[in-house]
Chains A and B, each alone.
Chain A
Amino acid sequence: DAKTTQPPSMDCAEGRAANLPCNHSTISGNEYVYWYRQIHSQGPQYIIHGLKNNETNEMASLIITEDRKSSTLILPHATLRDTAVYYCIVRGNTGNQFYFGTGTSLTVIP
């Protein structure tokens, strides 16, 4: 599975959009991009995933560049409860494992 690179930390003002970047320059054609988050003392929570098209659900939007070498998770209106560590993971269609890196620690500021 391709390796991902994320900034270690970010801040975002409450009510503003949080844009979390992820670089996955070695991604291959059949690998999906997944986003999870982990709020302190809880289990990782699935947010969204995609292959090449942009995706949106009730939690977030996922924007994948045309060359698929990077992506951005967008939380449209960040709240204090969105403070968490966000993990960007790339996984192939036949793989059954998620490799969690160190993620981005997002702090939403009042």
Chain B
Amino acid sequence: DAGVIQSPRHEVTEMGQEVTLRCKPISGHNSLFWYRQTMMRGLELLIYFNNNVPIDDSGMPEDRFSAKMPNASFSTLKIQPSEPRDSAVYFCASSLHGTGVNQPQHFGDGTRLSIL
């Protein structure tokens, strides 16, 4: 079975440029999560969606960050304009929510983002 698929795996760009990270969740999962991982702050939840609807975006650092989920099989995380402090590994995860049974989240392999 295909897991969570993220693209690109690596992204290097100059500050001020727009960055778009992509995620395809596991088929049938109805919750999707975006995380960011840095050495200083560890793994942080940025935003999550249930049934394509954003539920909690309190972890989004600032207005430069935005996330969309136009359908059940695709989500994007966009940074515009990007800054060097946005350099991190960004993970997408998906899970099955609302079945009454506690369900694990399954993570992709992440996008390693470097802003020069």
- Residue numbers in B under 8 Å from A49 (CB-CB): 102, 104
**Which of A41, A45, A102 is in CB contact (< 8 Å) with B107?**
A45
Q: Quick one: which of A9-28 are within 8 Å of B by CB?
A: none
Encoded as 1 (CB less than 8 Å from any B CB) or 0, chain A from 37 to 66 comes to 000011111100101000000000000000
The majority secondary structure among interface residues of chain B is strand
Once A44-B91, A96-B31 are accepted as A-B contacts, the answer to whether A32 and B42 lie under 8 Å apart by CB is: no
B97 at the interface (CB under 8 A from A): yes
- Shortest distance in angstroms between B111's beta carbon and chain A's nearest beta carbon? 10
Contact count A vs B, C-beta below 8 Å: 43
B106 at the interface (CB under 8 A from A): yes
Q: Interface size class for chain B? A: 20 to 34
A91 to B102, CA, bound (A): 9
A86 at the interface (CB under 8 A from B): no
Encoded as 1 (CB less than 8 Å from any A CB) or 0, chain B from 87 to 115 comes to 00001010001000010111111101000
Across the interface, do A100 and B105 meet the contact criterion of CB distance under 8 Å?
Answer: no
A97 to B108, CA, bound (A): 16
Of A32, A97, A102, most B-chain CB atoms within 10 Å: A97
Across the interface, do A43 and B104 meet the contact criterion of CB distance under 8 Å?
Answer: no
- Residue numbers in A under 8 Å from B60 (CB-CB): none
The majority secondary structure among interface residues of chain A is loop
- Shortest distance in angstroms between B2's beta carbon and chain A's nearest beta carbon? 14
A98 to B108, CA, bound (A): 15
Of B102, B105, B109, B110, most A-chain CB atoms within 10 Å: B102
Once A96-B55, A102-B42 are accepted as A-B contacts, the answer to whether A44 and B102 lie under 8 Å apart by CB is: no
- Residue numbers in A under 8 Å from B55 (CB-CB): 96
- Residue numbers in B under 8 Å from A8 (CB-CB): none
Across the interface, do B106 and A46 meet the contact criterion of CB distance under 8 Å?
Answer: yes
- Residue numbers in B under 8 Å from A43 (CB-CB): 4, 91, 93, 107-110
A96 to B106, CA, bound (A): 13
B15 at the interface (CB under 8 A from A): no
Across the interface, do B107 and A101 meet the contact criterion of CB distance under 8 Å?
Answer: no
Give B residues with C-beta under 8 Å from A: 4, 31, 33, 42-43, 45, 48, 50, 55-56, 91, 93, 97, 102, 104-110, 112
